[in-house]
Amino acid sequence: MTYKINTKKKTKRSAHGVREEPQFVTARAGENVILGCDVSHPLNGQPYVVEWFKYGMPIPFFINFRFYPPHVDPEYAGRATLHGKSSLRIENVRSDDQGWYECKVLMLEQQYDTFHNGSWVHLTVNVLKNYPKRKLHKLDVLNILITLPSLLLLLLLLLLDKEYV
């Protein structure tokens, strides 16, 4: 199952590109997610590079340039692939995948200082704990067998007592 859950986004346009409000994605550990990168792309086939950063990592963990195989950090190897033009699909998410991600699309035939694309996504990973099943001991069964008739007797006495009042 793949999840892509976005809040309503407000687009802020400027003369230097498009900036989206952050997206928030939630998944359970072991599921697949798509982190959206909603940025403008060259329409006439101009070359561009897609970079994905995780907050706290100094270099991109995923870099893709057209027909070349992507560079993927070993922590994401075999789990991270491009989805569409620039969104990122992470398979089998782990608890340590949780955090802020930034997507950048760099247009190679435009000056970087005059044009910037970027998109932020926060990934929350919920981990289900496997609690050990508790065995029912003989004393527990004995307590139930003793307590149940006692409660029934008490209830009966209360009902009988009310009838005579």
Phi, psi angles (nearest 5°) of residue 56: 100, -15
Q: What is the pLDDT of residues 116-140, one digit of tens each?
A: 577 899 999 998 776 666 666 666 6
Q: Which of 102, 110, 82 lies closest to 17 in space, CA to CA?
A: 110
pLDDT tens string 45-92: 778 888 999 999 888 998 888 778 889 999 999 999 999 888 999 999
pLDDT at residue 10 in the model: 43
Which residues fall within 8 angstroms of residue 162, CB to CB, at 6 or more apart? none
Query: What mean pLDDT value characterizes the chain?
Result: 77
Q: Are 25 and 67 found together in one domain? A: yes
Residue 165 and residue 118 share a domain: no
**What beta strand segments (E) does 15-143 contain?**
17-20, 23-28, 32-35, 48-54, 62-65, 71-72, 80-83, 87-90, 99-107, 119-126
Other C-beta atoms within 10 Å of 124: how many? 14
50-to-10, 17, 56, 143, 164 alpha-carbon distances in Å:
22, 15, 19, 65, 84
Pair (92, 34) in one structural domain: yes
Same structural domain, 24 and 79: yes
Q: Are residues 98 and 165 in the same domain?
A: no
Q: Which domain holds residue 79?
A: 2-126
CB 23 within 8 A of CB 7: yes
pTM: 0.65
Is the same domain home to 93 and 136? no
- CATH classification at residue 15: 2.60.40.10
- Cβ-Cβ contacts under 8 Å for 40 (sequence gap 6 or more): 17, 18, 105, 117
Same domain assignment for residues 9 and 63: yes
Which residues 6+ apart lie within 8 Å of 25 measured at CB?
3, 4, 5, 6, 33, 34, 35, 121, 122, 123, 124
Same-domain check for residues 106 and 63: yes
Task: Tell me which of 114 and 31 has the higher pLDDT.
Answer: 31
d(CA 162, CA 165): 5
Tell which of 95, 110, 126 closes a domain.
126
**Which region among 10-19, 31-40, 152-161 has the lowest average model confidence (pLDDT)?**
10-19
> Torsions phi, psi of 153, nearest 5?
-65, -45
Both 19 and 73 in one domain: the answer is yes
Residue 19, by phi and psi: left (phi above 0), alpha (psi -120 to 50) or beta?
A: beta
Tokens representing 87 are 């969104």
Domains held by the chain: number: 2
| 144 and 75 part of one domain | no
Considering the domain architecture, whether residues 137 and 121 belong to the same structural domain is answered as no
Residue 55 and residue 81 in one domain: yes
